[in-house]
Structure 1
Amino acid sequence: MLHPVGPLPAAVYWRRRLLVLLLLLAVLGGGGWLAFTALSGGSGETTAAAATTEASTAAGEPPALARVVPSLAGVRTPTPAPEPAAEPAPASPAPGDPCGDDMIELEVRGPGSVPVGGKPTFELVVTNVSSVPCVRVLDEGLQEIVMSDASGNRVWGSNDCFPENSSDTRTLAPGESVAFPLVWGGLTSEPTCTAARTAPAPGQYALRGRLDTKTSAETAITLG
């Protein structure tokens, strides 16, 4: 093997062997260089990517994933409106308390029809409609009956010309009624009682009662 044998000079065979050896070294060296380059390039890219990420983080920029998917801490959830406070239930009246306007009922009673010039008697009726006894001031100065015509014009008032005063405070049992009679003279009047008083014309009229701040529904009356 070390001493070539053939018709050609020995130098030819040595050159051929040297050329084959050089080609083999070139192939091996080229493969190694490609492998080294591949490994060095991948490691460099990884290092560069890591360096870029670290630089972005150091600069205060959020990571790429955080820029795509928002953080739950940054999502604002609606705040529920506060529920309104419950209003306290009104206190029930106690026995012996004053009779409020909502605890009594007021009504005017009288004949359904009256001849012109007649002198009928009307009644102002006060009833305790609550479930407990209560106290109410029933002074005559707080009582009044007013008559109006079909257009709502005031025709007569019980306190216009003959106002009365008394001191009358009573305890009304549940369901108890008290009636106060009042005679109408059959003539018109006004609060100063200075205008001429005449008999109202025949027609339809309405009576409404009052006890201080409490008023009644209208009661129809016919003059004929």
Structure 2
Amino acid sequence: MLHPVGPLPAAVYWRRRLLVLVLLLAVLGGGGWVGVALLGGRDGDAAAAEATATSTAAQPPALDRVVPSLASVQTPTPTPTAAPSPSEPSPPEQEAGAPCSDDVLALEVRSPGSVPAGSQPVLELVVTNTAAVPCTRVLDQELQEIVLLDGSGARLWGSNDCFPEQSDDTRTLAPGEQVVFPLTWGGLTSEPTCTAERVPVGPGQYVLRARLDTETSPDAALQVT
């Protein structure tokens, strides 16, 4: 091996061996570099993929960056407030001994509730002083009136239409005192001039309303059968 034998000079055989050795080293070196490059590329790809995944996981989604999490939003707890206790309305002011104002007078019309057609029921006008002090009021008969209305609000009868009365009646009403004025209705229709024909009021549901000068009463139901 170290001493080549052949017809050619020994230098020729040494150059051939050297060339083969160089080629072998070149082949081995090139393969090694290819393997290193392949391994390096795989490791680089894996490292890049891992870095991308880490960056993606570390950064919040775009919606989370704009809209805060509901868990981090604190809703203020409403403070319960106590309901105000209802207070009774204060009674209207009234000067003792002065004329009773409409605010301190309670007006009411009382009826039998149900009467036969053509009958002559007795109705009552009731005046009450609701003030805590006595006061005076003019209760003249020409200032008193009771009217009858039908279901649509049309006026059918008035106590002052055909038989108006007059009186001079000024009274001092004690606190809580009631004054009752009875009045008989003849069961017929009427109008303020008392010139129209008067006819019996037929069966049905009606309303009575009283008046004392400028003060009016709540309505009271009257059924004619």
The two structures have a TM-score, normalised by structure 1, of 0.59
The DSSP-based 3-state class of the residue aligned with 1:182 is: strand
* Alpha-carbon distance, 1:144 to partner: 0.1
Matches of 2:121 and 2:95, distance apart in 1: 39
Q: Hey, what does 1:94 align to over in structure 2?
A: 95
Which ranges in structure 2 are unaligned for 5 or more consecutive residues? 1-91
Amino acid of the structure 2 residue aligned with 1:106? L
- 1:72-115 deviations in Å (ceiling 9; x for gaps): xxxxxxxxxxxxxxxxxxx9422101000001000000100010
Matches of 1:181 and 1:92, distance apart in 2: 30
The DSSP-based 3-state class of the residue aligned with 2:103 is: helix
Structural mapping, 1:37-56, within 5 Å: none
Matches of 1:214 and 1:187, distance apart in 2: 25
Structural mapping, 1:10-49, within 5 Å: none
Q: Hey, what does 2:196 align to over in structure 1?
A: 195
Matches of 1:131 and 1:160, distance apart in 2: 36
Amino acid of the structure 2 residue aligned with 1:135? T
Matches of 1:99 and 1:155, distance apart in 2: 31
Matches of 2:180 and 2:147, distance apart in 1: 16
Amino acid of the structure 1 residue aligned with 2:117? V
The reply to whether residue 159 of structure 1 matches residue 160 of structure 2 is yes
Matches of 2:103 and 2:182, distance apart in 1: 23
Structural mapping, 1:183-222, within 5 Å: 183-222=184-223
Amino acid of the structure 2 residue aligned with 1:172? L
Q: Hey, what does 1:135 align to over in structure 2?
A: 136
Matches of 1:92 and 1:129, distance apart in 2: 11
Matches of 1:114 and 1:92, distance apart in 2: 40
Amino acid of the structure 1 residue aligned with 2:188? L
| Structure 1 runs of 4+ with >3 Å offset | none
The DSSP-based 3-state class of the residue aligned with 2:142 is: helix
Q: Hey, what does 1:170 align to over in structure 2?
A: 171
Q: CA RMSD in A?
A: 1.0
* Alpha-carbon distance, 1:200 to partner: 1.1
Structural mapping, 1:55-74, within 5 Å: none
* Alpha-carbon distance, 1:213 to partner: 0.3
The two structures have a TM-score, normalised by structure 2, of 0.59
Identity between Structure 1 and Structure 2 (%): 65
Matches of 1:94 and 1:215, distance apart in 2: 22
The DSSP-based 3-state class of the residue aligned with 1:98 is: coil
Which ranges in structure 1 are unaligned for 5 or more consecutive residues? 1-90
Matches of 2:178 and 2:205, distance apart in 1: 28
Matches of 1:222 and 1:92, distance apart in 2: 38
* Alpha-carbon distance, 1:201 to partner: 1.4
The DSSP-based 3-state class of the residue aligned with 2:191 is: coil
Matches of 2:116 and 2:104, distance apart in 1: 36
Matches of 1:97 and 1:103, distance apart in 2: 12
The DSSP-based 3-state class of the residue aligned with 2:209 is: strand
